[in-house]
Amino acid sequence: MSIIERISAPRHVRRALHPPTLFALLLAAAVLCGCARRYDITLVNSQTVTNVRIPNLNKQSPYFTYITAGGHTFTIPASRVSYISPHGDTNWMFKNQ
């Protein structure tokens, strides 16, 4: 059967996913679901920094370091942070003490 006959054949060509390929795709989807978590930082003056990765508190100096969605790294004094909450979640909040 030539290529032209295969392309113009009336029947549909089915390709099934093999179990290892399907398992790899499901595993990749499960791993990547946890990577998209974003947070909002509410400052003492009621300004909000949104859509950042989880801020890390430096133990030696009182600063939060966070990375924005664009990939830029910023530091902010811990005394200016009032709340840290997951992006879009109004029920859960971490209050800075």
CB 47 within 8 A of CB 9: no
| Residues 31-62: tens digit of each pLDDT | 776 655 788 888 999 888 887 888 888 888 89
Which pTM was predicted? 0.54
| Residues 81-94: tens digit of each pLDDT | 988 888 776 665 55
Q: What are the structural domains of the chain? A: 3-33 (no CATH), 37-95 (2.30.30.100)
Rounded to the nearest 5 degrees, what angle is found at the Cα of 92, between the Cα atoms of 36 and 67?
40
First to last CA, the chain: 75
CB 86 within 8 A of CB 40: yes
- With a cut of 60, say whether residue 27 has pLDDT above it: yes
Q: What is the CB-side half-sphere exposure of residue 12 using CA atoms within 13 A? A: 3
Report the mean per-residue pLDDT for the chain: 78
Copy the structure tokens of residue 77.
């004094």
| Residues 68-83: tens digit of each pLDDT | 878 889 999 989 998 8
